Structure 1
Amino acid sequence: MSAQTPETRAPETSRMRGLMLVAGREIRVRGLSKANLVSLIVTVVIVGVLAALPTILGGGDDEAEKIGLAGTNASAMEGQLNAMGGFDITMYDSADEAERAVEDGTVDTAVADGTLYSEENPDQSLQAQLDAAWQAATVQTNLADAGLSDAEIATALTPRPLETVTLAEGESDPVTSYFTGLVISIIMFMMLMTPVQYIAMGVVEEKSSRIVEILLTSLKPWQLLGGKVIGLGVISLVNLVAMVAVGLGVSAATGVLADLPPGTASAAVSTIGWWLIALVLFGTLAGGVGSLVSRQEESGSVLTPLIMSLTLSYIGAIFTLNAPTSTFAQVLSIVPPFSAITMPTRMAITTVPAWEIALSIALLVLAAAGALALGAQLYKRSVLYTGSRLKLTEALRRAA
């Protein structure tokens, strides 16, 4: 077989170079625009504040409770409270001194010889902790009076903890799972809606200004459409990664990250995959239908079916949050285009059979391939047409 010559390689290289040139132009024009940068900054700040909100709201809970102790079991109770943590303990010689300390505000609460002193009714959680410490301290003192050694007392006061057996394997906290699924559905919806609108608007803008006629002298229609989808997809992906990075970074810095469910990372990674397939599906269709009109004010009419599909997919995902195992939720998470948002949302809140996930991916990929072919044909046949809005059937009948 003969070696490939530079001449035979040049057309392929030129095709890819043209595609990347269009994608780079979209990134520079849209991604580095003031509007996108301001929007990104505002969004990541909001995400950072939301991630830090649990710590901000609970900041006062870290202040140590001032406790006064007196009486026979004071030393033993001090050890119990120190083991619990979160207490500023002051020892007093008598119950009267401890009571006066509460009256003058030196301590918040005092315990002496079985009596709890407080200016007002103490918090139930605090009272439960003090009661538990008092009982443990009393048992410790009684065991010491009975002649047990410190080691024997420690053994008696340290029983083996309960062994936890989870019967519902793979199920996480329902509230946390619901919140995770809700966040995934919102992010998917917003990260698809924005580039879809930008792609259609960009096509109409180039067509109405007749710039597309100049561009097509050196580029193929598929390069223009594909470059737009890739460029705006990169911008959206960068925005998404920035939001996730800031959210996880702030959560890690404030200690909230450890409270997230174990499957959060895998759910986030899989969501990016679903989003990429859905972007091909909706993005290429947006470019194709956008080429049917020549004015920006007409773009809304041709985008309505796509916007409705995205909106219905989001509504279906919200329904799935409340009934993830229902037949309706199963169908929505398998049938495209609804599966693009519904399936990753459903995966975040319940265990989905592997065959359903595989079938959903296969059907969504097939739908994306069909949308790519249809969108490319619409764009190729309609982008140079000027005048009134073309109907879909008329566009498909036009010569390529």
Structure 2
Amino acid sequence: MSDQTSETSRMRGLMLVAGREIRVRGLSKANIVSMIVTVVIVGILAALPSFLGGDDADEKIGLAGTGADAMQTQLDAMGGFDVTLFDSAAEAERAAEDGDVEAAVADGRVYSENGLDSAVQNQLDSAWQAASVQTNLGDAGLTDAQIAGALTVQPLESVTFGDDSGTDSITGYFTGLVISIIMFMMLMTPVQYIAMGVVEEKSSRIVEILLTSLKPWQLLGGKVIGLGVISLVNLVAMVAVGLGVASATGMLSDLPPGTASAAVSSIGWWLIAFALFGTLAGGVGSLVSRQEESGSVLTPLIMSLTLSYLGAIFLLNAPTSTFAVVLSIVPPFSGIAMPTRMAIAEVPAWQIGLSGVLLALAAAGALALGSQLYKRSVLYTGSRMKISEALRRAA
């Protein structure tokens, strides 16, 4: 019973510290405003491709005369056309002249008010030729099944000799870029907050008071959990808004296969990466006693995050290259690189599993190292302590 009471007491202390971080930082006006602004920006970025895509309304085409039915079949198969059948060529011509349709095709002629776009003109020409062949075959006595067989042609099979490792489209590249930026920012900001919070408590000597009733691991763990919850809420809001806007604008179906699942799974990758960087930030932050010195101990972590982000940007152009594969598997770079790569290309399941296991092991190692650094140096005052010196100190 006493062991259970002790365990409950320890967890209560951990949650008290986490709750304090959530109230002080998460519910602050600055954080709420920042979250709203960030979510709005993500929504705008998610809608941007649909705005840049231009007007995708179907072309209004009028048809009349011989072969009109056959040509309608061809245009319907092509897609992108709103076809209207007229009883006579004169009616179709009048509709084009009045602007009721962009163009009218009747008896071998195309009627339009100001000419047609070359792409539309070529499509109409192709449809007219295919319809004419179909009509001629029917006049020659072939059955519908024979005509269908004669007109059925297998499309060309694409064979490339180069490395087809780029993204499928500008939309895919843009999506991967947004995911990498969000992952980078949502790791960089809380990591810095954790280190600065540790230094602030240490320089003000408030940590000495807190440690009279709390254990070092409760202080560090509560700070990491509290700031993690705040950042997680922000990240979930961004992913939800991004996918929601993409779905509402019809862009979700245009994204590379697996993009939506990659965006959702990025939350899991972020949690593991945050555990890795967050605990290390708390540990190295305890090595210094002044805010001016925090930058020097945070530099290796910031450099690792920056290199992870830059590597993710590189793999946008070559997601299946050897460099991209290694970067998305080896921690800590995989925390950003793997969800970015998953958003733009099909990644083998074994690579995803291996990357997740290695990142989790690295996070466990970081947790052990960060907690020991914090435990051994948080009460030390004076000049910056080296990591080796901190590990040699008695716990």
TM range (shorter): 0.7 to 0.9
For 2:48 and 2:327, locate their aligned partners in 1 and report how far apart those are by CA, in whole Å: 34
Q: Deviations over 1:369-396 (max 9, x none)?
A: 2221221122122222334333333433
Q: Deviations over 1:325-357 (max 9, x none)?
A: 544444434433223333444445555566555
Structure 1 counterpart of 2:276, from 281, 295, 320: 281
Equivalent residue for 1:135? Answer: 129
Matching of residues 297-376 of structure 1 within 5 Å:
297-350=292-345, 356-376=351-371
Equivalent residue for 1:258? Answer: 253
Amino acid across the alignment from 2:290 = R
After TM superposition, give the deviation of residue 10 of structure 1 in Å: 0.9
Q: Is the 8 A contact 2:102 2:112 kept in 1?
A: yes
Q: Deviations over 1:7-41 (max 9, x none)?
A: 23111111111111111221222222222211221
- Relative to 1, partners in 2 of residues 1:56 and 1:155: Cα closer, same or farther, differing over 3 Å? farther
1:235 paired to 2:226: no
After TM superposition, give the deviation of residue 307 of structure 1 in Å: 0.3
For 2:264 and 2:48, locate their aligned partners in 1 and report how far apart those are by CA, in whole Å: 24
SS in 2 for 1:116: strand
Amino acid across the alignment from 1:89 = T
SS in 1 for 2:362: helix
Equivalent residue for 1:122? Answer: 116
Equivalent residue for 1:156? Answer: 147
Matching of residues 1-400 of structure 1 within 5 Å:
5=1, 7-58=2-53, 60-62=55-57, 64-74=58-68, 77=71, 81=75, 84=79, 86-87=81-82, 89=84, 91=86, 93-94=88-89, 102=96, 105=99, 107-139=101-133, 141-142=135-136, 152-153=143-144, 156-157=147-148, 162=154, 174-175=168-169, 178-350=173-345, 356-400=351-395
Task: Return the TM-score normalized by structure 1.
Answer: 0.82
- Relative to 1, partners in 2 of residues 1:256 and 1:267: Cα closer, same or farther, differing over 3 Å? same
- Relative to 1, partners in 2 of residues 1:167 and 1:319: Cα closer, same or farther, differing over 3 Å? same
Residue correspondences, number: 389
Q: Deviations over 1:181-202 (max 9, x none)?
A: 4343323222211110111111
SS in 1 for 2:183: helix
Question: Mean Cα displacement is larger for which, 187-196 or 109-118?
Answer: 109-118
After TM superposition, give the deviation of residue 293 of structure 1 in Å: 2.3
Unmatched segments (≥5 aa) in structure 2: none
Q: Is the 8 A contact 1:317 1:346 kept in 2?
A: yes
Q: Deviations over 1:134-183 (max 9, x none)?
A: 334434554665577xxx54873586685899999xx9963365445434
Q: Is the 8 A contact 2:236 2:267 kept in 1?
A: no
SS in 2 for 1:117: strand
Query: Identity, % of aligned pairs?
Result: 77
Question: Mean Cα displacement is larger for which, 154-163 or 389-398?
Answer: 154-163
SS in 2 for 1:279: helix
Unmatched segments (≥5 aa) in structure 1: none
SS in 1 for 2:266: helix
Q: Is the 8 A contact 1:294 1:386 kept in 2?
A: yes
For 1:224 and 1:24, locate their aligned partners in 2 and report how far apart those are by CA, in whole Å: 11
Question: Mean Cα displacement is larger for which, 339-348 or 365-374?
Answer: 339-348
Q: Is the 8 A contact 1:68 1:92 kept in 2?
A: no
